[in-house]
Amino acid sequence: MSNPRLGEYNLGALAGAVVGAIGGLFAIGAVRAILAGNATLLFATPILGLLSWVVCGLVGWFVGGQIGPRLGEKYYSQRAEMIGGAVGGLLPVLLVALWAWHMSTR
């Protein structure tokens, strides 16, 4: 099994970056909007949303780039690589959303 280098381009990294960036853009605002029951809070923190977008996109690239190729090689499928990359991109989004929930409920 050949291990992918950290940060190299592959389908898993691309899927992780896309899922991480889009999810990170709304992770903080979605938690606040759900807790308050007010959809306008989804866009109430644009600077934090932008910071989360950058961080989750980069972390999704690195994590998805490690998980995706390993799954793709195990199952001999590009779909498995893309799904693994997407799951890797969800990890930072979930961590940011959990952090936002913790900070909102304090």
Mean of the pLDDT values across residues 43-59?
A: 94
Whole-model pTM: value is 0.89
Of 53, 5, 3, 4, the closest CA to residue 28 belongs to: 53
Count of Cβ atoms closer than 10 Å to residue 74 Cβ: 12
The helix/strand/coil state of 76 is: coil
Q: What is the pLDDT of residues 23-37, one digit of tens each?
A: 999 999 999 999 999
* Cβ pair 73, 18 in contact under 8 A: no
Q: How high is the pLDDT of residue 77? A: 93
Q: Which has more pLDDT, 31 or 7?
A: 31
Check: CB of residue 67 under 8 Å from CB of residue 81.
no
Average pLDDT over the chain reads: 93
Burial of 65 (0-12, 13-18, 19+ CB in 10 A): buried
1 or 77, which is more confident: 77
